[in-house]
């Protein structure tokens, strides 16, 4: 006689245990009127729009940019021709760090992981033939967000398009750069000043710009848990809100244009619960803590995308399947915008074929799966509602822990938050290596025939002529522009940086004079200095 096999224990990434079965008893503390509500109404648990995808499906915004502005322009148009309705622009590391392509520190990196942008001339080339009022554009840029946004605004000027007609989302979330990605330049306080300068300027001069995209995505990619991703995002949103309130802005003057960028590469129901809990926590924070009155100020508008770390080198075609589940998760989570990694992302800059498959995956999800037929299709599930309640408690615990570290800004300055993320990243990797976290083709169902890695992928190889072309363009630009006008603009930028005024005016002056990104970043570096990263374990 054989004994019954013991059921395995399940604990989610956020530390929440999962029961085998859920029922009404798991919702003893659940108040539908308070915690659930109806779609499009406070606290927005079920989604921020009354009919969600029945009225308008999510925006599809693939992350793209590489090589020269001309090459990127071609890929932008390729994706738009196949139905992509928005752009998410990648910049190379020199651009992200405020270095011109001819800077010695940029050698070997020009155009490698994104588009190289040195001046207004490059931005004009990147958006040649693309009307600034016809497409929504996101810029994955942070320390240089004010300069890149200014370049795009001048491109719009030159196209005869007023600023109140352009829709852009500069990421402009410098706190998560200090925590996760490292493309910071200036110390924390002057970096926050630049974030606020751009947000304040856009609130008053370019009202359709989303001036800050609070980004838990990269912190999750760096290793934090699911609950920490949401908690840190909410803490950063609060910090930016306080920063702008100190500028004298009313919360309803800027909060409707705040947006979020989060990932969804974990377990489907954990991710759905994270977003449902996050939406209502954000709504309550904006209403109760900051006194927002406009419902749009309480809406958690989100780009939800799969993280590249969800995909594997082994058997890369399996990543197409993973991408489909990510798209489903993002839709069930209530995304306003969706972006997917490509199946070749563990190997290379995405090929046109891989990007088209990712785009088609989102289109199939929207038009064939039925997930867009009704709002919050998982709402009312015993499991989902109980998990949303548990996730809310876990997020609040993480927020409380951030406060013990002195708040999000002080935790970043001291390096305490970076250390938290690093520890979680180590724990996660140990669980993958041990097999506790399953990855098919990596630690489960591993191929034994040497075919785990594909030999059929189209690998992107950076042409060294990209860097040469950018350097030649820069040399010609410096010879042909009005050097005295540039010098005056840079002097004004330094002078204004020494004071307390908004720096967008002098930045725009420098952009119009064709001062380079490196020259303007250098002028600010002269005044602000550079950040020195605290190292803690």
Distance from C-alpha of 374 to C-alpha of 363, rounded to nearest angstrom: 17
Burial profile 188-199: b = 16 or more Cβ within 10 angstroms, e = fewer: bebbbbbbbbbb
Pair 372, 334: CB distance under 8 Å: no
Tokens 């600034």: give the residue. Answer: 132
Nearest to 120 by CA among 158, 165, 66: 158
Distance from C-alpha of 253 to C-alpha of 207, rounded to nearest angstrom: 9
Pair 89, 140: CB distance under 8 Å: yes
DSSP 162: -
Confidence label for 1 from pLDDT (cuts 50, 70 and 90): very low
pTM of the model: 0.95
pLDDT in tens, 59-75: 998 888 989 999 999 99
Q: Any idea where the domains of the chain sit in the sequence?
A: 10-434
The more confident residue out of 462 and 104 is 104
pLDDT in tens, 132-159: 999 999 999 999 999 999 999 999 999 9
pLDDT in tens, 397-417: 999 999 999 999 999 999 999
**258 three-state secondary structure:** coil
Average pLDDT over residues 212-239: 97
In percent, the amount of the chain with pLDDT more than 70 equals: 98
pLDDT in tens, 316-339: 999 999 999 999 999 999 999 999
Quickly name the fold that domain 10-434 has.
TIM Barrel (3.20.20)
The more confident residue out of 75 and 4 is 75
258 CA to centre of own chain? 12
Pairing of strands 259-263, 213-215: parallel
Retrieve residue 108's tokens.
């070997």
The pLDDT score that the predictor gives to residue 454 is: 63
Neighbour-count burial of 94, counting CB atoms closer than 10 A to its CB (0-12 exposed, 13-18 middle, 19+ buried)? buried
Pairing of strands 168-170, 213-215: unpaired
Mean pLDDT of the chain: 95
Average pLDDT over residues 454-459: 73
Distance from C-alpha of 264 to C-alpha of 274, rounded to nearest angstrom: 9
Distance from C-alpha of 360 to C-alpha of 381, rounded to nearest angstrom: 30
Average pLDDT over residues 464-491: 96
Distance from C-alpha of 46 to C-alpha of 527, rounded to nearest angstrom: 47
Cα distance from N-terminal residue to C-terminal residue, the chain: 53
Distance from C-alpha of 288 to C-alpha of 283, rounded to nearest angstrom: 8
pLDDT in tens, 483-516: 999 999 999 999 999 999 999 999 999 999 999 9
Of 50-54, 55-59, 202-206, 451-455, the one with minimum mean pLDDT is 451-455
pLDDT in tens, 265-291: 989 999 999 999 999 999 999 999 999
């Amino acid at each position: 006689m054989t004994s019954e096999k013991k059921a395995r224990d399940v604990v989610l990434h956020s530390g929440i245990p999962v029961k085998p079965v859920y029922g009404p008893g798991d919702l003893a503390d659940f108040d539908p009127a308070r915690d659930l509500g109806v779609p499009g109404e406070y606290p927005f648990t079920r989604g921020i729009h009354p009919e969600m995808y029945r009225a308008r499906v999510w925006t599809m915004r693939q992350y793209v940019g590489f090589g020269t502005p001309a090459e990127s322009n071609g890929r932008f148009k390729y994706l738009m021709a196949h139905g992509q309705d928005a752009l998410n622009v990648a910049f190379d590391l020199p651009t992200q760090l405020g270095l011109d392509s001819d800077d010695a520190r940029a050698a070997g990196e020009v155009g490698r992981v994104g588009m190289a942008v040195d001046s207004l001339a490059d931005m004009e080339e990147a958006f040649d033939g693309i009307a600034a009022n016809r497409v929504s554009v996101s810029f994955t840029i942070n320390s240089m967000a004010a300069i890149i946004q200014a370049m795009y605004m001048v491109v719009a000027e030159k196209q005869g398009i007023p600023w109140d007609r352009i829709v852009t989302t500069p990421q402009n979330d410098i706190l998560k750069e200090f925590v996760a990605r490292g493309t910071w330049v200036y110390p924390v306080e002057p970096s926050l000043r630049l974030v606020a300068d751009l947000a304040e300027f856009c609130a008053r001069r370019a009202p359709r710009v989303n001036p800050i995209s609070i980004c838990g995505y990269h912190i999750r990619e760096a290793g934090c848990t699911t609950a920490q991703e949401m908690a840190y995002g909410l803490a950063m949103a609060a910090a930016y809100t306080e920063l702008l309130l100190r500028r004298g802005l009313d919360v309803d003057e800027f909060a409707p244009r705040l947006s979020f960028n989060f990932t969804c590469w974990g377990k489907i129901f954990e991710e759905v619960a994270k977003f449902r809990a996050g939406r209502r926590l954000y709504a309550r924070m904006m209403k109760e803590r900051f006194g927002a009155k406009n419902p749009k100020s309480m809406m958690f508008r989100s780009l939800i995308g799969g993280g590249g770390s969800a995909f594997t080198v082994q058997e890369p075609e399996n990543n197409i399947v993973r991408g489909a589940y990510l798209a489903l998760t993002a839709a069930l989570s209530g995304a306003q915008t969706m972006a997917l990694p490509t199946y070749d992302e563990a190997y290379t800059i995405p090929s046109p074929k891989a990007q088209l498959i990712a785009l088609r995956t989102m289109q199939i999800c929207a038009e064939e799966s039925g997930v867009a037929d009704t709002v919050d299709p998982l709402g009312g599930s015993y499991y989902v509602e109980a998990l949303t309640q548990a996730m809310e408690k876990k997020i609040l615990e993480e927020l409380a822990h951030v406060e013990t570290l002195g708040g999000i800004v002080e935790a970043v300055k001291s390096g305490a938050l970076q250390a938290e993320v690093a520890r979680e990243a180590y724990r996660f990797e140990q669980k993958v290596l041990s097999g506790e976290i399953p990855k098919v083709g990596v630690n489960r169902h591993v191929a034994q025939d040497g075919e785990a890695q594909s030999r059929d992928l189209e690998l992107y190889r950076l042409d060294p002529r990209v860097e040469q072309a950018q350097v030649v363009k820069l040399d010609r630009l410096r010879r042909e522009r009005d050097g005295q006008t540039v010098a005056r603009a840079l002097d004004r930028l330094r002078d204004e940086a020494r004071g307390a005024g908004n720096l967008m005016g002098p930045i725009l002056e420098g952009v119009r004079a064709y001062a380079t990104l490196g020259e303007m970043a250098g002028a600010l570096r002269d005044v602000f200095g550079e950040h020195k990263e605290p190292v803690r374990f």
